[in-house]
Amino acid sequence: MDVSNLPFNTWVGLSVDGDDVVLLPEAPHLNHLGSVHATVIFAAAEAATGQLLFRRFPHFVDTCDVVLRSCDVKYRRPAMPGAVIRGQAWLSDEELDSFQNSLTKRGRAIVEIRVRVVQDDVEVCTGRCTWFAATRSAANESSDGASG
């Protein structure tokens, strides 16, 4: 899956460059101060973490339901229009293995992915996005009328 093909990401202008990097070439969506709107910067952060997850686990598209559970970002400085914004996510091999093991054993797992958004090599945003994944069979079992 390429997250740049999702309708919102297409509308914002996101593209994928390399492994876990997303780009916003010239973010046209500005705020009241003339800098790039925070939502657009957030979109780059969220998309970078999703891209990492789907690149590392391409079978998720056909076998799992994967959703963003939470995200904590800190905006460090404004991003300005006309310069490329880059979002890059990372996760250690140990964290990847733990996530995969939990998903295999329990049919569901949570993983927290770190992200950094930069413009002209200057950090504009950092954060962590937490993703929840459940195999389709585990998701169906939990929705078969059971409550609580």
Residue 4 burial (10 A CB sphere; 0-12, 13-18, 19+)? middle
Task: Please give the pLDDT value at position 146.
Answer: 47
DSSP state letters, 74-120? EE-S---TTS-EEEEEE--HHHHHHHHHHHHHHSEEEEEEEEEEEET
32-60 pLDDT, tens digit each: 999 999 999 999 999 999 999 999 998 88
DSSP 26: T
Closest CA to 4 of 23, 28, 19, 27: 23
| Residues of the chain falling short of pLDDT 50 | 145-148
What's domain 3-142's superfamily in CATH?
Hotdog Thioesterase (3.10.129.10)
Q: How far is CA 143 from the centre of its chain?
A: 26
